[in-house]
Structure 1
């Protein structure tokens, strides 16, 4: 599939997604497969979670638009999915959901040395992140935090 056809396909599918309050995060057309595989990753425009029902809801109109467009004259498989769960905690919802879970905190110390701390997510405020490291609560100012990720806690 040439780039022009892929761009037309993406534009077409974005319109379908928009009418259903979805956004296309990624469109991957694998022409080396037989039949061709079209993988679409969607998310809700309001930031909510994508369910299996949402993928099914998008599948039918997306398939119909592909068929009606005549962009593909071969058989294909359409695969609709969500972004899944990221290991990185970014939203307030993430911090509430994963309270008590093991996290890896990447720090940027004032002396420019990057440091990592591992512990259980304890609390997040607007000014600091608190983690439980072996029973002791450590408060880390947010201006020192580069990244907070879920991890496996190891001794």
Structure 2
């Protein structure tokens, strides 16, 4: 019986984060994600982020010669996690329904963030809305 209870706990613990590969079009881009994580992407970097149901990953990207870019990282929905949450531990739905995409590319010149699930997929282009930009600017205290 104890072994059966261990399986859902292991699934929940391992399903609480996702890794992503970040790259940029411009060289030497400094990015800050949710104030506490700042790093330079040169030319690419990989990071792991917690899953979330209601939260956002706000970002500020900067590179010499370009206006700073602000916005929210697009997140993907975890249908598999939802099914597991319903079957094993429904309260987990409040923590893990969305996660980062495995691949992102930032383009400061065009103010776009591109994302995809698989390396061989085509990029989906996303331009943060003015409301998202304003929220990120306010969050970083740059208003």
TM-score, length-scaled by structure 1: 0.26
Q: Rg: which structure is higher?
A: 1
TM-score, length-scaled by structure 2: 0.28
Structure of higher RCO (CA pairs closer than 8 Å, 6+ residues apart): 2
